[in-house]
Amino acid sequence: MSQFNLDKLLQEQNTWLVTGCAGFIGSHLIENLLLHGQKVIGVDNFLTGHRHNIEDVLQHTKQSENFEFVEHDLAVDCDLKALESFDVDYILHQAALGSVPRSIENPLNTHLCNVDAFIYMLEFAKRKNVKKFVYASSSSVYGDHPALPKQEENIGKTLSPYAATKRIDEVYADTFSKCYSLDCVGLRYFNVFGKRQDPHGAYAAVIPRWVSSLIHKDPIEIYGDGETSRDFCYVQNVVQANILAALKNNSQSNDIYNVACSERTTLNELKDIIIQLLKDKGIEVNSENIFYKDFRPGDVRHSLADISRAKKQIGYLPTHFIREGLSEAIEWYIANS
């Protein structure tokens, strides 16, 4: 496992606005920024984020006096008056309503949170003349395009409302870049996992959900034959990509980068890795309590990222692959299952 040193990038203090700061990824962003002496404004409405994520960050961060939190719903207050008084250098826009199944059940709410709020933030970034607007996109925008690995320029038809909202965000970012010279960078996340990832709820991500189920002797469900594959990406890789995208001068205006490891893991392989890590921690697992179900609508069969563009243009290099990331996060998953 290699190391990534933020000290070289974050030598000068700037003000960062992080939306979705109470969420899984957002909380890691504010934590790393605060640890490196940055000023951070965090925004969240707690629709899917949690106050305890912010509290956890501030408990372990001596520079908490540099943090200011604004409880705010970006999709409701379109003029963003609650943020107007702040001078902002960089925006890391993470706020969104995730989950393909949830978007299929409620496409209107997904659009409101992922598209309406997004354009409000673009308008705010334009008004504030920020240095860079970095936003979370998704590998789901590749849709039904069959080629592997996924390259940023090759996009198929979207397979879910969630994917459609992320694609619309990319189009709006491109439009604002051309019309208003707003410097935007989109990051297409591939199956991010790590500490503070919620194991509970109907739309919990697969890794924390499986860990929790195995610990509590509950059945786990695998959709399909288990040979569906994903490019799992540890959250520290995502932190690196966001900060690099914001600060690297050689990044292209309104470019889009895959954020992943360029490593494919099947669900069956993931199951085996988790079971072994739990056994290594002295937790007995009933490996027979695993059931295969039908494929879900909107799910992509295989996902693998080409990360060569991010490597070349912003210097991105994953520090954690699936086994290293899980080994680092497993104790948190166990303690919070």
Pairing type for strands 255-259 and 39-44 reads unpaired
The amino acid present at 209, given as its one-letter code, is R
H helix and E strand count, the chain: 11, 13
- Out of 90, 142, 162, 316, the active site residue is 162
Q: Which residues contact 227 (CB under 8 A, 6 or more apart)?
A: 266, 267, 268
Beta-bridged to residue 68, according to DSSP, are 41
Angle, helix 322-335 to helix 206-215, in steps of 10 degrees: 50
Paired tokens of 240: 């690196």
3-state SS record for 59-103: HCCCCHHHEEEEECCCCCCCCCHHHCCCCCCEEEECCCCCCHHHH
Paired tokens of 212: 């929790």
Pairing type for strands 229-230 and 90-93 reads unpaired
User: Is 162 annotated in the active site?
Assistant: yes
Beta-bridged to residue 193, according to DSSP, are 234
The amino acid present at 137, given as its one-letter code, is S
Residue with tokens 């890795």: 273
Residue 311: alpha-carbon gap to chain centroid? 18
Q: Name the DSSP letter for residue 81.
A: G
Instruction: Give the gyration radius of the chain's Cα atoms.
Output: 19
For the beta carbon of residue 260, count every other beta carbon within 10 angstroms: 30
In the three-class reduction of DSSP (H, G, I as helix; E, B as strand; rest coil), residue 67 is classed as: strand
| Residues annotated catalytic, as ranges | 162
